[in-house]
Amino acid sequence: MNRLCHIPGITPQQKAYALSTLADWYLRIGQDPENAERVLRQLVENYPDTDLASTARQRLARLPTAEHLADRREPARIKLRKGIENIGLQRTPVTLEPPPEPPEKLAARYVEQLEKHPDDFDTREKLAVLYADAFQRLDLAEDQLEQLIQHPAANPGQVVHWINLLADLQIRHGRDRDTVRATLERILELFPGSPYAEQAERRINLLALEFKRREIAPTVKLGVYEQNLGLKGRLPR
């Protein structure tokens, strides 16, 4: 693969494919995340400000640790714990699933991940939804989604998805119809005459129905959390 990358006349796409394949082999065959990381960083350095570099950064953000790879090689072991006695006599419902991670810890974990990997689109999107739904901070959610929408490496499909997600959150958290309409009209401005624009126009025409459904949907009262979430000054940019 290294010799292939130095053949005269090789295109950037061919070299990127070779390096990406080499990173796959380091992980899948060599169980060697350090060399996989080295190869992916080489991709970022060789093709900065390109889709190739963006894809490599996304992979770096999801790179497994050596411990994780070792765990995957080991046969799966299931730890059994003592069951609940007299389960048929319990007065309250028995919860078998582990309790969900507290929103504060989840937000802190997402922020820590983004500080290491600012181009981790998936984590930034999850953080935006968490800010809106768990903390009632639509302003912070809008900021995170805006960073994704304006990211130079985002493709049109991703941009349209994030604009629609922003509209979803605005409807869920009390923005008026004009605000949501303006959000969706950004798709018309960015991708005029495209299928994305046609879909956005259909959604705009049905906004009244979306708001009507929202009015009759049951509301769930969420807990009250610290307004700064313990993360003030640490928001990733």
Residue by residue, DSSP assigns 151-208 as: -TT--HHHHHHHHHHHHHHHHHTT--HHHHHHHHHHHHHHSTTSHHHHHHHHHHHTHH
- Give the model's pLDDT for residue 94: 54
Instruction: Please report the sign of the dihedral spanned by the C-alpha atoms of residue 127, residue 117, residue 25, residue 18.
Output: positive
The answer to whether the CB of 136 falls within 8 A of the CB of 173 is yes
The answer to whether the CB of 59 falls within 8 A of the CB of 50 is no
Q: Which residues contact residue 151 at a Cβ distance below 8 angstroms, ignoring those fewer than 6 apart?
A: 119, 121
> Which residues of the chain are modeled with pLDDT < 50?
220-222, 224-228, 230-235
Q: Which residues contact residue 161 at a Cβ distance below 8 angstroms, ignoring those fewer than 6 apart?
A: none
pLDDT digits (tens, 9 = 90+) for 178-222: 999 999 999 999 999 999 999 999 999 999 989 888 776 555 444
- Give the model's pLDDT for residue 103: 93
- Give the model's pLDDT for residue 78: 54
Q: Where are the domains of the chain?
A: 8-69, 103-216
Pick one of 3.90.1150.10, 3.30.980.10, 3.30.1960.10, 1.25.40.10 as the CATH number of 103-216.
1.25.40.10
* Host H or E run for residue 114: helix 103-116
